[in-house]
Structure 1
Amino acid sequence: MSRVPRAAGACGRRAGWNTGSVIRDDILTGLPVRTAVPALRRALDGHGCAVLCAPPGTGKTTLVPLALAGLTGDGGPVRRVLVAEPRRIAARAAARRMAWLLGEQSEMGVPPAGGWGRSETGVPPAEGRGKVGGQVGFTVRGERVVGPGTVVEVVTTGVLLQRLQRDQELTGVDVVILDECHERHLDADTAAAFLLDVQAALRPELRLVAASATTDAESWARLLGDAPVVRAEGVSHPVDVVWAPPARPVRPPHGMRVDPALLGHVASVVQQALAEREGDVLCFLPGVGEIARVAKQLTGLDAEVLQVHGRAPAAVQDAVLAGSSGTRRVVLATSVAESSLTVPGVRIVVDAGLAREPRTDHARGLSALTTVRASRAAARQRAGRAGREAPGTVYRCWDEAEDVRLPAFPSPEIKVADLTAFVLQAACWGDPDASGLALLDPPPAGAMAAARSVLTAIGAVDTSGRPTDRGVAMSRLGLHPRLGRALLDGAPLVGPRRAAEVVALLSEEPPREYGDDLAAAWRTARRGGDAYAARWRQEARRLARTVGSVGDASADLSPTAPLPAALSDDAVVGLVAALAFPERVARSRGDGQYLMASGTGAELGEGSPLRHAPWLAVAVADRPSPSAFGLGGPPSRFARSASARVRLAALIDEDIARLAAGHLLASGEEVRWEDGDVVARDAERLGAVELSVRPLKDPDPALVRAALAEGLRREGLGLLRWTPDSETLRRRLGFLHHTLGAPWPDVSDASLLGRTDEWLEPELSRARRRADLGRIDAGQALRRLLPWATGEAARLDELAPERIEVPSGSRVRVDYEGEQPVLAVKLQEMFGLDGTPVVAGVPVLVHLLSPAGRPAAVTADLASFWKDGYRSVRAELRGRYPKHPWPEDPSTAEPTRHTNARLRR
Structure 2
Amino acid sequence: MGVRNLPVERVLGDVVAALGDHGGAVLVAPPGTGKTTLVPLALDDGAAGGTVVVAEPRRIAARAAARRMAQLRGERVGGSVGYSVRGDRAVGPGTRVEVVTTGLLVQRLLADPALDGVGTVVIDECHERHLDTDLTLGFLVESRQTLRPDLRLLATSATADADRFARLLDAPVVVAEGALHDVAVRWCPPPRPVRPPHGLHVDPAFLDHVAAVVRRAWREAEGDLLVFLPGAGEIASVRRRLDDLPVDVLHGRLPAKEQDTALHGGGRRRVVLATAVAESSLTVPGVRVVVDAGLARVPRTDHARGLGSLATVRAAKAATVQRAGRAGREAPGVVYRCWSEADDARLPAQPEPEVAVAELTGFALALACWGHPGGAGLALPDPPPDAAMRVAQATLRALGAVDGDGRATPRGHRMSRVGAHPRLARALLDGAPKVGARRAAEVVAILADDSLARGDDLAAAWRHLRDTGDARWRAETERLRRDLPDAPVRLPDDLVAGLVTGLAYPERLARLRGGGYLMAGGTEAALAPGSPLTGHPWLAVAAADRQPGSAAARVRLAAAIDEDTALEAGAALLSTVDEITAQGAQRLDQLGAITLRRRELPDPPRELVERALRDALARQGPRWSAEATRLRQRMAFCHLVLGPPWPDVSDASVVAHTDLSGVTKLSTVDAERTLRTLRAMLPWPAAQRLDELAPERLRVPSGSLARVDYDDPEAPVLAVKVQEAFGWLETPRIGDGRVAVLLHLLSPAGRPVAVTRDLASFWRTGYPQVRAELRGRYPRHPWPDDPLAAAPTRRTNPRR
Q: What TM-score do you get using the length of structure 2 for normalisation?
A: 0.89
State how far apart, in whole Å, the 1-side matches of 2:511 and 2:308 are: 20
1:708 aligns with 2:613: yes
State how far apart, in whole Å, the 1-side matches of 2:414 and 2:137 are: 23
Q: How does 1:268-307 map to 2 (within 5 A)?
A: 268-295=212-239, 298-299=242-243, 301=245, 303=246, 305-307=247-249
SS in 1 for 2:744: strand
Cα deviation, 1:701-723, whole Å, max 9, x if unaligned, reads: 44443443443454x42xx3312
Cα deviation, 1:412-438, whole Å, max 9, x if unaligned, reads: 222222122122223323333334444
Cα shift at 1:261 = 5.5
Amino acid at match of 1:163: R
Assess if the C-alpha contact under 8 Å between 1:57 and 1:234 holds in 2.
no
Q: How does 1:401-480 map to 2 (within 5 A)?
A: 402-404=343-345, 406-480=347-421
1:826 aligns with 2:721: yes
1:567 aligns with 2:487: no
Assess if the C-alpha contact under 8 Å between 1:510 and 1:521 holds in 2.
no
**1:369/1:624 Cα in 2 relative to 1: closer, same or farther (>3 Å)?**
closer
Q: State the match for 1:633 in structure 2.
A: none
Cα deviation, 1:825-858, whole Å, max 9, x if unaligned, reads: 2334444544434445444321122344322211
Q: State the match for 1:864 in structure 2.
A: 761
For 1:847, which of 744, 767, 772 is the aligned residue? 744
State how far apart, in whole Å, the 2-side matches of 1:608 and 1:885 are: 82
Cα shift at 1:613 = 2.4
1:685 aligns with 2:590: yes
State how far apart, in whole Å, the 2-side matches of 1:217 and 1:738 are: 65
Cα shift at 1:337 = 0.4
State how far apart, in whole Å, the 2-side matches of 1:494 and 1:402 are: 55
Q: State the match for 1:186 in structure 2.
A: 131
Assess if the C-alpha contact under 8 Å between 1:709 and 1:756 holds in 2.
no
For 2:567, which of 650, 658, 670 is the aligned residue? 658
Q: State the match for 1:522 in structure 2.
A: 462
Assess if the C-alpha contact under 8 Å between 2:614 and 2:656 holds in 1.
no
Q: How does 1:156-167 map to 2 (within 5 A)?
A: 156-167=101-112
Cα shift at 1:523 = 1.6
State how far apart, in whole Å, the 2-side matches of 1:211 and 1:795 are: 86
For 2:656, which of 753, 758, 763 is the aligned residue? 758
Cα shift at 1:349 = 1.2
State how far apart, in whole Å, the 2-side matches of 1:534 and 1:50 are: 39
**1:684/1:351 Cα in 2 relative to 1: closer, same or farther (>3 Å)?**
same
1:97 aligns with 2:68: yes
**1:221/1:820 Cα in 2 relative to 1: closer, same or farther (>3 Å)?**
farther
State how far apart, in whole Å, the 2-side matches of 1:620 and 1:704 are: 41
Assess if the C-alpha contact under 8 Å between 2:436 and 2:488 holds in 1.
no
**1:192/1:565 Cα in 2 relative to 1: closer, same or farther (>3 Å)?**
closer
State how far apart, in whole Å, the 1-side matches of 2:364 and 2:600 are: 43
Assess if the C-alpha contact under 8 Å between 1:306 and 1:316 holds in 2.
no
State how far apart, in whole Å, the 2-side matches of 1:451 and 1:331 are: 38
1:873 aligns with 2:770: yes
**1:724/1:45 Cα in 2 relative to 1: closer, same or farther (>3 Å)?**
farther
Q: State the match for 1:54 in structure 2.
A: 29
**1:612/1:795 Cα in 2 relative to 1: closer, same or farther (>3 Å)?**
same
**1:805/1:65 Cα in 2 relative to 1: closer, same or farther (>3 Å)?**
farther
SS in 1 for 2:482: helix
Cα shift at 1:617 = 1.1
Assess if the C-alpha contact under 8 Å between 1:36 and 1:231 holds in 2.
yes
Assess if the C-alpha contact under 8 Å between 1:801 and 1:814 holds in 2.
yes
**1:743/1:269 Cα in 2 relative to 1: closer, same or farther (>3 Å)?**
farther
1:541 aligns with 2:478: yes
State how far apart, in whole Å, the 1-side matches of 2:666 and 2:355 are: 48
Q: How does 1:237-256 map to 2 (within 5 A)?
A: 237-244=181-188, 252-256=196-200
State how far apart, in whole Å, the 2-side matches of 1:60 and 1:737 are: 79
Q: State the match for 1:730 in structure 2.
A: 632
Q: State the match for 1:347 in structure 2.
A: 288
Assess if the C-alpha contact under 8 Å between 1:829 and 1:897 holds in 2.
yes
Cα shift at 1:234 = 2.2
Identical pairs, percent = 60
Cα shift at 1:91 = 1.7
**1:871/1:625 Cα in 2 relative to 1: closer, same or farther (>3 Å)?**
same
1:360 aligns with 2:301: yes
Cα shift at 1:273 = 2.4
State how far apart, in whole Å, the 2-side matches of 1:877 and 1:293 are: 76
Cα deviation, 1:540-565, whole Å, max 9, x if unaligned, reads: 0000115469xxxxxxxxxxxxx995
Cα shift at 1:786 = 6.2
Cα shift at 1:309 = 2.0
State which drifts further: 860-869 or 191-200: 191-200
Cα shift at 1:280 = 0.9
State which drifts further: 167-176 or 684-693: 167-176
State which drifts further: 879-888 or 576-585: 879-888
**1:380/1:731 Cα in 2 relative to 1: closer, same or farther (>3 Å)?**
farther
State how far apart, in whole Å, the 2-side matches of 1:831 and 1:222 are: 89
Q: How does 1:592-607 map to 2 (within 5 A)?
A: 593-607=516-530
Assess if the C-alpha contact under 8 Å between 2:446 and 2:452 holds in 1.
no
Q: How does 1:24-103 map to 2 (within 5 A)?
A: 24-27=1-4, 30-37=5-12, 40=15, 50-67=25-42, 69=43, 71-72=44-45, 77-78=48-49, 80-101=51-72, 103=73
SS in 1 for 2:3: helix
SS in 2 for 1:620: strand
Q: State the match for 1:379 in structure 2.
A: 320
**1:286/1:851 Cα in 2 relative to 1: closer, same or farther (>3 Å)?**
closer
Cα deviation, 1:154-213, whole Å, max 9, x if unaligned, reads: 322212222232233444445443322222212222333333444455555555444211
**What CA RMSD, in Å, does the superposition of the two structures yield over aligned residues?**
3.5
1:584 aligns with 2:508: yes
Q: State the match for 1:767 in structure 2.
A: 663
Amino acid at match of 1:335: A
Q: What TM-score do you get using the length of structure 1 for normalisation?
A: 0.79
Structure 1's unaligned 5+ residue stretches are: 1-23, 108-130, 550-562, 627-638
Cα shift at 1:655 = 0.9
Amino acid at match of 1:492: P
SS in 2 for 1:364: coil
Cα shift at 1:382 = 1.2
Q: How does 1:142-153 map to 2 (within 5 A)?
A: 142-147=87-92, 150-153=95-98
Cα deviation, 1:448-484, whole Å, max 9, x if unaligned, reads: 3332333233222334433332222111211111111
**1:175/1:821 Cα in 2 relative to 1: closer, same or farther (>3 Å)?**
farther
Structure 2's unaligned 5+ residue stretches are: none
Assess if the C-alpha contact under 8 Å between 1:620 and 1:646 holds in 2.
yes
State how far apart, in whole Å, the 2-side matches of 1:438 and 1:423 are: 15
Amino acid at match of 2:758: D
SS in 2 for 1:573: helix
State which drifts further: 800-809 or 405-414: 800-809
Assess if the C-alpha contact under 8 Å between 1:597 and 1:686 holds in 2.
yes
Amino acid at match of 2:559: A
Amino acid at match of 1:55: P
State how far apart, in whole Å, the 1-side matches of 2:311 and 2:381 are: 23
Assess if the C-alpha contact under 8 Å between 1:669 and 1:699 holds in 2.
no
For 1:503, which of 418, 431, 444 is the aligned residue? 444
SS in 2 for 1:619: strand
State how far apart, in whole Å, the 2-side matches of 1:713 and 1:520 are: 51
Amino acid at match of 1:416: V
State which drifts further: 696-705 or 228-237: 696-705
State how far apart, in whole Å, the 1-side matches of 2:415 and 2:437 are: 15
**1:613/1:850 Cα in 2 relative to 1: closer, same or farther (>3 Å)?**
closer
Cα shift at 1:656 = 0.7
Amino acid at match of 1:270: V
For 1:778, which of 674, 678, 695 is the aligned residue? 674
State how far apart, in whole Å, the 2-side matches of 1:173 and 1:785 are: 82
